[in-house]
C-alpha cells in the first residue's frame, strides 16, 4: 500500500515541476519579446533617424563587417550590454562603452568609462567632444564614420 501512494506523490510532483518549467519558459519568452519591442523603439523604428554610424574598419572583430550601418537616435549608447541602443558583442567593447547625442545640430561623443577607450579622429573622448559629419569615431578597435 505504501508503494502506490509513493508513486502517486512522485507523479504529482513531476506534473508540478513540469508546469513550473513551462511557466518559466513563458516568462522568459515574454521578457524577451518586451525587450525586443523596447529595443525597436530605441533604435528609431517609426521615428526619425538623426544620423548613421558606418563601419569603416572592424579591426580584429568578426561581429561587424565594414559597410555595416547603424541608425542614430538623438541619444545613442554603444556597448555589449542589453540596455544599449547599439549592441555590439565584441570582446574589445565594454558593457557600456560610448555615448553619442545631438544638441543644436551638433553631435557629441563621450567615453562611458570603457577599458579600450573611445576616440574621435584619434583624439580620446574622455569628456564630451563634438563630432562632425565625416569624422571617424573609434569604439574599441571598431572604426565608424559619422554620416547624415
pLDDT in tens, 11-62: 999 999 999 999 999 988 888 777 655 545 455 455 578 899 999 999 998 8
Higher pLDDT, 45 or 137: 137
Domain extent listing, the chain: 1-42, 51-147
Task: Quote the pLDDT of residue 33.
Answer: 74
Percent of the chain with pLDDT over 90: 77
What does the radius of gyration of the chain's CA atoms come to, in whole angstroms? 23
CATH architecture of 51-147: Sandwich (2.60)
Does residue 65 register a pLDDT over 90?
A: yes
CA distance 132 to 147: 9
In this prediction the pTM is: 0.67
Amino acid at each position: 500500500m505504501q508503494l502506490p501512494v509513493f508513486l502517486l506523490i512522485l507523479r504529482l510532483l513531476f506534473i508540478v515541476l513540469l508546469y513550473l518549467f513551462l511557466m518559466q519558459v513563458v516568462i522568459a519568452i515574454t521578457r524577451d519579446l518586451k525587450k525586443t519591442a523596447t529595443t525597436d523603439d530605441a533604435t528609431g523604428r517609426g521615428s526619425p533617424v538623426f544620423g548613421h554610424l558606418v563601419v569603416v574598419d572592424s579591426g580584429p572583430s568578426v561581429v561587424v563587417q565594414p559597410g555595416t550601418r547603424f541608425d542614430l537616435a538623438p541619444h545613442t549608447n554603444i556597448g555589449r550590454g542589453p540596455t544599449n541602443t547599439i549592441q555590439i558583442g565584441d570582446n574589445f567593447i565594454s558593457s557600456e562603452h560610448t555615448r553619442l547625442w545631438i544638441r543644436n545640430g551638433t553631435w557629441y561623443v563621450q567615453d562611458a568609462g570603457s577599458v579600450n577607450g573611445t576616440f574621435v579622429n584619434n583624439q580620446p573622448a574622455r569628456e564630451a567632444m563634438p563630432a562632425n559629419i565625416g569624422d571617424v569615431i573609434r569604439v574599441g578597435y571598431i572604426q565608424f564614420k559619422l554620416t547624415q
